[in-house]
């Protein structure tokens, strides 16, 4: 099991190239299950979750050809299995996004109940309810969700009672090959959902309302091959900006999409950062100043992303003043708090709200990753701590960040990976 050893105290300066978005890449790869032909997906991030998804597709009979430019060619003409087995799904909860495509293409699917990040209960009831509206019958046996639509999927109206990102993606993918029209209301508007929708359109799907909370899909009999380039990862981008702001440095992010980062950039400006955006870059400069504490409440897009919450806890821990951070999307997504407290942070956690009193500097300590974004916040805390911080179980961070220690080192951080 790998760990990171971080010696804090370096200001970060330089340039970071942002990778493709994990949360867009995963459903897009799953969508290729629906295409009986060759497709090419570009700008894939090199991440464990992406490898897991490619393995999953391979087990289902998809031909997968990766090249070293971050592109992959897939051909699902000879789909041979509709089973997503436990050994792969348990490492990646997002495997659930194969459910919609398998039902659409093969009219049946068996997906192990998901594992992945240990943040709250994370049920899939909304996915199931919505797919039932399109004519799928489900049973849950032996730890598997088994769905069948013997007569194929039939277009229908789905109103999500709660916004769900992968739930919206599953129904969107299923609707694309359903007979007739489908309407999805209270759909997630996250850029990753829109990227999936744009990819499906490139493969021949008919979708209106992309980017809004109402998606209208006119089912088509078949999809065909095409090319799609995955959008930049706004969460990776945001994580690096927070790292630089916390260390009072300056940087330029390249290959990013500032239009997807509005809420994050606003909070960084509130924290005192000078921010300048171009078509595909962001410059941030703290001019050597200590950040100011900010108040944050997570929300669905375009609100402040829950996937950036933990990183701002690390920022507030060393900021000037008091900041309040409230998690509204997931229960139990505050597991980084006790770890950061062990580094000296002054945090009063009351329910889903963390009240922070900023201190000048944290103290290095051995800490434990619990989930993907929590691990990122521990790395950031290590960068602004006195002495040595050891972050254990970095396999969590490898699920979502491409070579984070190399990118941080290029900015001047003192961080190394140690294989145990």
Q: Which of 10, 91, 112, 164 binds ligand UD1 (CB under 6 A)?
A: 164
165 binds ligand UD1 (CB under 6 A): yes
Residue 123's nearest CA partner among 88, 85, 149, 162 is: 162
Look up residue 17 and give its two tokens.
Answer: 């190239």
Q: Which of 7, 90, 122, 216 binds ligand UD1 (CB under 6 A)?
A: 122
CB of 35 to ligand UD1, least distance (A): 20
Residue 387's nearest CA partner among 371, 364, 370, 362 is: 364
CA 81 to chain centre: 27
Q: Which is nearer to ligand UD1, 52 or 182 (CB)?
A: 52
Q: What whole-number distance in Å separates Cα of residue 323 and Cα of residue 27?
A: 35
Q: Which is nearer to ligand UD1, 96 or 319 (CB)?
A: 96
Contact 252, 407 (CB under 8 A): no
Q: What whole-number distance in Å separates Cα of residue 147 and Cα of residue 150?
A: 10
330 binds ligand UD1 (CB under 6 A): yes
How many residues interact with ligand UD1 (rule CB under 6 A)?
20
Three-state DSSP at 204 gives coil
117 included as an active-site residue? yes
263 binds ligand UD1 (CB under 6 A): no
* CA distances for 298 relative to 207, 273, 312, 330, angstroms: 29, 20, 11, 9
CB of 8 to ligand UD1, least distance (A): 27
Q: What whole-number distance in Å separates Cα of residue 118 and Cα of residue 260?
A: 26
Q: Which of 43, 175, 306, 389 binds ligand UD1 (CB under 6 A)?
A: 306
Look up residue 420 and give its two tokens.
Answer: 């145990």
117, 189, 251, 256: the active-site residue:
117
Stretch of 116-124, 171-179, 313-321, 339-347 contacting ligand UD1, by CB under 6 A: 116-124
CA within 13 Å, CB half, 347: 32
Task: Find residue 112's DSSP bridge partners.
Answer: 144
Look up residue 85 and give its two tokens.
Answer: 């087995």
396 binds ligand UD1 (CB under 6 A): no
Q: Which is nearer to ligand UD1, 60 or 329 (CB)?
A: 329
Residue 393's nearest CA partner among 419, 369, 377 is: 369
Three-state DSSP at 13 gives strand
Look up residue 227 and give its two tokens.
Answer: 């090319």
CB of 196 to ligand UD1, least distance (A): 10
Stretch of 120-128, 145-153, 244-252, 347-355 contacting ligand UD1, by CB under 6 A: 120-128
CB of 25 to ligand UD1, least distance (A): 9
CB of 363 to ligand UD1, least distance (A): 30
Q: What whole-number distance in Å separates Cα of residue 62 and Cα of residue 34?
A: 10
Length of the chain: 420
CB of 367 to ligand UD1, least distance (A): 21
Stretch of 159-167, 222-230, 264-272, 411-419 contacting ligand UD1, by CB under 6 A: 159-167
Q: Which of 329, 381, 404, 411 binds ligand UD1 (CB under 6 A)?
A: 329
Catalytic residue numbers read: 117
Which residue ranges make up the site for ligand UD1 (CB under 6 A)? 23, 26, 94, 120, 122-127, 162, 164-167, 192, 306-307, 329-330
């Amino acid at each position: 099991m790998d760990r990171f050893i971080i010696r804090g105290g370096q200001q970060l300066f330089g340039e970071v190239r942002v990778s493709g978005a994990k949360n867009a890449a995963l459903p897009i790869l799953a969508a290729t299950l629906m295409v009986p032909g060759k497709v090419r997906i570009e700008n894939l991030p090199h991440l464990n979750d992406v490898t897991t998804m490619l393995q999953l597709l391979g087990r289902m009979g998809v031909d997968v050809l990766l090249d070293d430019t971050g592109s992959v060619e897939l051909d699902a003409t000879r789909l041979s299995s509709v089973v997503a087995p436990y050994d792969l799904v348990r490492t990646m909860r997002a495997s659930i996004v194969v459910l919609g495509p398998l039902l659409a293409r093969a009219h049946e699917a068996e997906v192990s109940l998901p594992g992945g990040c240990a943040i709250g209960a994370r049920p899939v009831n909304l996915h199931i309810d919505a797919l039932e509206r399109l004519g799928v019958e489900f049973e849950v046996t032996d730890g598997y969700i088994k769905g069948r639509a013997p007569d194929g999927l039939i277009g229908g109206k789905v109103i999500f009672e709660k916004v769900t990102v992968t739930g919206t993606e599953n129904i969107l993918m299923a609707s694309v090959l359903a007979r007739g029209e489908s309407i999805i209301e209270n759909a997630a508007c996250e850029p990753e959902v829109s990227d999936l929708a744009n990819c499906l359109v490139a493969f021949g799907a008919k979708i209106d309302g992309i980017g809004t909370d109402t998606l209208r899909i006119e089912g088509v009999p078949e999809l065909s091959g095409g090319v799609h380039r995955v959008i930049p990862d706004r969460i990776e981008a945001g994580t690096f900006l927070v790292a630089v702001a916390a260390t009072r440095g300056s940087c330029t992010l390249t290959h990013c999409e500032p239009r997807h980062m509005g809420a994050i950039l606003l909070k960084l400006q509130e924290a005192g950062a000078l921010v300048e955006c171009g078509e595909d870059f962001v410059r941030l400069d703290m001019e050597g100043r200590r950040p100011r504490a900010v108040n944050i409440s997570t929300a669905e897009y375009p609100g402040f992303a829950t996937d950036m919450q933990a990183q701002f806890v690390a920022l507030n821990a060393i900021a000037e003043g008091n900041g309040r951070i409230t998690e509204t999307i997931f229960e139990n997504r505050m597991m980084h708090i006790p770890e950061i407290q062990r580094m000296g942070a002054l945090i009063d956690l009351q329910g889903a709200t963390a009240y922070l009193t900023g201190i000048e500097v944290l103290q290095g300590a051995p800490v434990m990753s619990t989930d993907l974004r929590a691990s990122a916040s521990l790395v950031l805390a290590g960068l602004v701590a006195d002495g040595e911080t050891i972050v254990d179980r970095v396999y969590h961070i490898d699920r979502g960040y491409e070579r984070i220690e190399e990118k941080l080192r290029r900015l001047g951080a003192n961080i190394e990976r140690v294989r145990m």
